[in-house]
Structure 1
Amino acid sequence: MKFQKEEPPGEEGMPVQLRPYSIRARFTLVTAVLSLIVFTLIGIGLDFAIRIRIQDGIFAESQRLATSWIDWQPYAAPQPVTTTRIDLLQFTDSHGRVLAASRAAGHVPISTLHPPPDDRIRHGISCTPERCVAFTVVRLPLLQTTMLWSGEPHFVYAGMVQPPILSGHRLEWLTGLGIALMSALSAWVAWWVVGRTLRPVAEIRARTAEITVSDLSLRLPQPPGRDEIAQLARTTNRTLARLEEAVNQQRQFASVVSHELRTPVSALYTRLEEAVLYPDEVDLRETVAAALSTTERMHAIINDILVLARIRTVIPAPPEPIDLGALVAEESAGQVNGAPVRTRTAAGLIILGNRIQLIGVLNNLLVNACRHAQTTVDVSMARAGGYAVVNVVDDGAGIAPEDRERVFEPFVRLADGRRLDPGGSGLGLAICRGIVSAHHGTLSIEDSPRGARFVLRLPLMETNRSTAHV
């Protein structure tokens, strides 16, 4: 059992307190203390029960023998004989004189205890320095004493020397030894059971020490069963898997950001270097204008990166009820560039969300659709399974099935997108999906007869409330 020293601050010279610092040691100590208390109480009760049981047996047998001896007229027997363990028999008068006795009893009175007139039988224990005798004394009936001894009381004593287990402290010593052994056995069982239970914890701790940020592929050993330790291991492994995925995404994101920023930075560096090296050959106004355009592109990319980072890390503002149909109609009416937008809204589709963020999502989807459409953009709404569904469909070239998930990745831009929007950062759809995910919805691209069909699903307010009450 391991212990650690515990010294009060600023109390030099005070006695050192020791306390076990391992769970196994603490449980074993608590089990030992509780077992000692419980077994001590049981031992005390058992000690009393054994004493009472043995004494009651002696008293019952001695009473039976004494009353039987009275029936045999013991006053006429010069030396009574017994064949049971009750070997001490005496017949005495009221002055304590022994009138008849068994060989083992002798002529020294067993006791001077006399039953009261209203109770013919008494039990007792008489002790001398040599021995203790458990006995029963019986008063002879009044009719016999009146006829034979003129009413003088006479008594019959029957008893035996107390067994060694009662006369000394042997029973207490045996009980104490049993208490100590049972408490030690309980402590050992607790030590073994807790050690076996915590064995997976030691393996989990050793494996956890091997996991580093540079290598998150290791997983904790999962013990069999469904106890708390097994559930902890499974939950931790799922957390490690999510953490590994997040770290990989961050690494990939950082790599993509570095690549996207390297191009405009390199171009800016090259132009400025040419202006410094060849001041007479370079048009400074043109160089400054180009540098300003590159800086604006870098500024737009950085702003989009910050927006995407805030969506992933910053706690969103408290949601508010929003009439999604009115919001879609308002944003559709505000699109004046590109193909016209035809809108079919639905009433009563109330959601909980951040109005500013959802406006950004709708605006981005509508701008993309208007940019890629040839003649028109159709926006429709419906209710489906507790969700408000918004379909934004253009009649452009569409998106190939293998690219429908790629376009939501940061900085991914298809050839058609680069051609129609050369200054774009490629973060718009990634930001939209991040916002929609934060609202517990989905944003995807689904099949359409012609063009691209973006489908936005957001949980209705009654769905959010019912989920919150589960």
Structure 2
Amino acid sequence: MSTRRTRSLIHSEAWGISLWATLAFAIGSLLVFWGLQSFVAKDIQRRSDTWLSGEVEVLGDVAGITPKDRLYDKVVREVAELASREVPNRDHSAGNGSDSVFFLQVGTDGRDALWVGSEDRASAFAAIQSVPTRGDSPYDVRIKGFGTPFRVATIQVADGSHIYLGLSERDELRVLRNLRLRFLALWLVIVLLGFLVVFYATWRMLRKVDNIAVVAAHIGRADLSSRVPAPGGNGEIGRLARTLNQMLDHIEATVGQLHTITDALAHDLRSPLTAIRGKLEAALLPGASTDPTERIVSAIEELDRLSDFLNTSLDVSEAKADALRVSRAEIDLASLVRAIADFFEPSFSERGCSLQIRIMEPILISADAALLHRVIANLLDNELKHLPPSRTVWVSVQAAQDVALFIVEDDGPGFDPDVLPHLFERRVKGKSSRGHGLGLAFVQAVVRVHGGSVEAINRAGGGIRISVSLPSADASGAIKHPVDALVSQ
């Protein structure tokens, strides 16, 4: 066993868990034994009382039918000695059992008339006389000089005398004592074995948790590429490990996205900032051939484009990393599309293009209105920038099986076949595009955050078709995060 495993075994929480579990089991098993012992003791006493009651009736019958002559004492004595050999629960290795049974007949004058037994006759007679009459049920009698009590049954003979048959509880107590000793030995073995089993099972389970903690600590200090060991099966520890690995995947992707953002922004900002700096420096030069105001205005326009580029890049990166802040509300997609299309319609008319709207009825969705506004505006702005004059753009909104479809189509030249497979990747744009290649990447990122999908194809008759699918309000409300469901419970 390695040093680390030994240290883990010594300081493991499995000791405390095992001790508490073993203590609960030990107390429970003792209570069970106490009930079992009480049941066995009552059963033994019931059998002894049954034997005493039966034998004392036999002795009473014998005494009643035997003539009171010289043979009376001999006959009754022999019957009493014969009964002593049939003692229940008797230890046969201890002798014939006559030392555990006595027979006493007391005459009508209150004197003992006949005695059979190895005990002291006077002590037995005095003990019986000291006990109040109990009726026909056997009762306990303690005889001086004996550590164990006697169970005594009595019957009245026809001549008025009383017969007492006593049975020592020595054998009964011996049986119960042996039962206690055997149970104690068995109880100790079971408790020890149970402690070892519980400790081993708990230690193995907690060792998996410890391994996860060690690897997680190493990941936090070193790198994000390692993953915690995930045991097989559908147990809680396995689910915990898989959840941690999924979280690490998300963190690694987010950190990687952050590195990509910083590297890309550093590269993309270098040229625009240099150009802006050059324009501003040229505006400060004395005797410049052009008006300095024009250079300053041009620099401000470059700064505006740069600001828009930064905002869009950050939004796309946040959406790709599932960190985009979304404020959902129930909105009418049809009304939103109609309002944005009405705003863009004059611009299309200026370029000699036609914008046609096909909206049949209101469609409610759960979405961030501001983000969705930017998505629709991005798609229409792309059409406005890249569509040749005298072309038509169709915008439609329709419902289809728990989703709302927003579709943009045109009859232009369509997408470049080389660009089409990578259309939603960042910084991918056509040859004639003057943008940064972030518009469609932003559209896809926002739609994915809302649980939807976007598809772009070239139409068979020419032109493009971009279809955005978003869950309707009812479908969005039915989807509940597992953690939210757990918290609500």
Counterpart in the other structure of 2:106: 93
**Unmatched runs of 5 consecutive residues or more in structure 1:** 1-19, 146-152, 419-423
**2:221 and 2:264 mapped to 1: Cα distance?**
20
Pair 1:253–1:273, CA change in 2 (3 A): same
Residues 281 and 245 of structure 1, relative CA distance in 2, 3 Å threshold: same
| Structure 2 Cα separation of the partners of residues 113 and 212 of structure 1 | 86
**Structure 2 match to 1:373:** 387
Once residues 225 and 257 of structure 1 are traced to their aligned partners in structure 2, the CA distance between those partners, rounded to angstroms, is 44
Q: Residue 303 of structure 1 aligns with which residue?
A: 311
CA gap 1:60/1:247 in 2 versus in 1, 3 angstroms: same
Match of 1:245 in 2: 253
- Deviation, 1:368, is 0.6
Q: Name 2:35's counterpart in structure 1.
A: 45
Which of 403, 422, 444 is the matching residue for 1:406? 422
Q: CA deviation at 1:366?
A: 0.9
| Deviation sequence 1:362-384 (CA, Å, 0-9, x none) | 12111111222222222233322
Distance 1:353 1:171, change over 3 A: closer
Contact kept? 2:419, 2:429, Cα under 8 Å = no
Say if 1:376 and 1:394, in contact at 8 Å, map to a contact too.
yes
Q: In structure 1, what is the Cα distance between the partners aligned to 2:228 and 2:134?
A: 83
Look up the match of 2:407.
Answer: 391
Q: Partner of 2:7 in structure 1? A: none
Residues 409 and 463, structure 2, Cα contact 8 Å, conserved in 1: yes
Per-residue deviation, 1:284: 8.7
1:282: how far off? 9.2
Question: Residue 350 of structure 1: which of 339, 343, 364 is its match?
Answer: 364
SS in 2 for 1:408: coil
Amino acid at match of 1:329: R
Distance in 2 of aligned mates of 1:118 and 1:313: 89
Moved more, 282-291 or 121-130: 282-291
2:5 corresponds in structure 1 to none
Structure 1 range deviating more: 92-101 or 261-270: 92-101
Distance 2:192 2:325 in 1: 55
Deviations 1:263-321 (A, max 9, x none): 21233455667889x87789792764554444333222233345446765354334033
**How far is the alpha carbon of 1:31 from its aligned partner?**
1.0
TM-score by length of 1: 0.79
Moved more, 132-141 or 167-176: 167-176
Whether 1:415 and 2:431 are equivalent positions in the alignment is yes
**Conserved 8 A contact 1:28-1:187:** yes
| Map of 2:166 onto structure 1 | 158
Give the total of aligned pairs.
436
1:63 to 50, 53, 56: 53
Q: Structure 1 40/118 Cα, relative in aligned 2: closer, same or farther at 3 Å?
A: closer
Contact 1:90 1:156 in 2 (8 A): yes
Q: Please tell me whether residue 144 in structure 1 is matched to residue 159 in structure 2.
A: yes
| Residues 1:255 and 1:282: Cα distance change in structure 2 (over 3 Å) | farther
Alpha-carbon RMSD across the aligned residues, in angstroms, is: 3.6
- Alpha-carbon separation, structure 1, partners of 2:444 and 2:136: 101
Q: Which amino acid aligns with 1:77?
A: D
Of Structure 1 and Structure 2, the greater helix share is in 2
Question: 1:104 and 1:402 mapped to 2: Cα distance?
Answer: 118
Which residue in 2 is equivalent to 1:26? Answer: 16
After superposition, the Cα gap between the structure-2 partners of 1:117 and 1:243, relative to the gap in structure 1 and judged at 3 Å, is: closer
**Residue 459 (structure 2) aligned to one of 427, 448, 455:** 448
Of 359, 378, 388 in structure 2, the residue corresponding to residue 364 of structure 1 is 378
Shift of 1:386: 2.0
For residue 54 of structure 2, what is the amino acid of its counterpart? R
- CA distance in structure 2 between the partners assigned to 1:195 and 1:129 by the alignment: 57
1:12 maps to: none
Say whether 1:464 aligns with 2:460.
no
Match of 2:445 in 1: 434
SS of the equivalent of 1:144 reads coil
- For the 8 Å contact 2:224–2:248, the answer to whether it is kept is yes
The Cα of 1:21 is off from its aligned counterpart by: 8.7
2:230 alignment counterpart: 222
Rounded Cα–Cα distance in structure 1 between residues aligned with 2:165 and 2:329:
96
Name the aligned partner's letter for residue 216 of structure 1.
L
